[in-house]
Amino acid sequence: KETLNSCVYYKIEHPKFAATISEFGGQLLSFTPKDNQNEPQNLLWLSESSPLDGSKPIRGGVPLCWPWFGPAQGDFVGEPQHGYIRSVPWSLINIVESDTSVEMIMQPNLTKELSQSLGLDVQVRYVFADTISIELTTTNTSTEAKPLSQAIHTYFALDNVNDHKVLGLNQIRYLDKLDNAAEVIQDGDVVITEHTDRVYLTAQDKVSLLNGNKNMDILGQGHDSIVVWNPWQENAKNMVDFDDQGYTNMICIEMANTQGLVLQPQQVHKLVQLIKP
């Protein structure tokens, strides 16, 4: 445990990997496998200009968006984009270490009033090994059906945005958020060459990210969408917390629920992203 600018970070140094998890946002910030064959490399992108003092959500790593994805709607209009939990401190509930893995369970410190008015509880379970498993579990604790949208908003590090590909989305329908959510069918692999903000409407369990000559599988469960985002040059410049050149080294690929998931009383839902370098 380390404190920096009054924020707490968990630093894990394991023979097989190193990882940093921020208490603020309950957010994974870095993950570096140590496989002896390759130069150790952080798989996640983190903006150097992101404040890390808890004043705003951390730009990079794996922000968790809950209990909505994108702008707040309906009764919640005016509340923060992507929900509450990326902007509050979390508590560590349990940590279990073994020769091969470290498991952490964390929960956001939401006020009682907020938890009650939401009628939803959430926790994250991380399992770090030679893979990263992120499991976001939501329980409807109320007596009414509750809508839920969410995302595991992973910022993957790219060596160079000019040499990457996302495989596995060919012929999938997506909503183009930059064109009034117009529906488009993906033609071929996804290669980002400009501002891109797309919600792929698919519950398929795997895409792959080709980063230069390295391949990484990204598996999902419990999602109805896969979001792909890169702000590109001008928008990166316009965000104070996004390094100006950062867009050349990142891509967000997010397992998400964006299409009207509803949890019945006592229903439990798991959204999972498994990253296999």
| Minimal distance, residue 227 CB to ligand BG6, in Å | 5
Which of 125, 177 has the CB closer to ligand BG6?
Answer: 177
Which of 28, 252 has the CB closer to ligand BG6?
Answer: 252
| Minimal distance, residue 166 CB to ligand BG6, in Å | 15
| Minimal distance, residue 257 CB to ligand BG6, in Å | 13
Which of 87, 101 has the CB closer to ligand BG6?
Answer: 87
| Minimal distance, residue 102 CB to ligand BG6, in Å | 27
Which of 23, 197 has the CB closer to ligand BG6?
Answer: 197
Which of 70, 119 has the CB closer to ligand BG6?
Answer: 70
Residues near ligand BG6 (CB under 6 A): 81-82, 153, 177, 197, 227, 229, 252, 254
| Minimal distance, residue 233 CB to ligand BG6, in Å | 15
Alpha-carbon 9 to chain mean position = 18
